Amino acid sequence: MTLIDQVAKYLLRYRKITAVKAYALFGTMRLSSIISELRKKGWPIETEYVETVNRWGQKIRHGIYVLKKNWNPKTKKSTNKRK
C-alpha cells in the first residue's frame, strides 16, 4: 500500500489529518504533496487553518486537511444519508 493509499484510507475513516499526525502514523514529511495528488484524483479536501501558540509563546498558524463529509471515492460524489 502506498503512502497516498494509507493517507486516503485514514481520511475516509477520520475525515481530518495534520502534518504532525501524518508524520507520526506514516513517517512522511510530505503530506501536502500527498494531499495534492488526492485532489488531482478528485478528492474534495479542504484546508482549515488554525492559530495556536508554540513552545516559545509565539502565535503560529498551521493547516488541517479535511475531507468533505459523506463523500464517496467510488462515485466521487457526496452521498446524502438523510431521507
pLDDT of residue 69: 84
pLDDT confidence of residue 83: 46
Q: Which domains are assigned to the chain?
A: 3-71 (1.10.10)
Residue 2, judged by CB atoms within 10 A of its CB (0-12, 13-18, 19+), counts as exposed
Tell me: the pLDDT tens digits for 7-47?
999 999 999 999 999 999 999 999 999 999 999 999 999 99
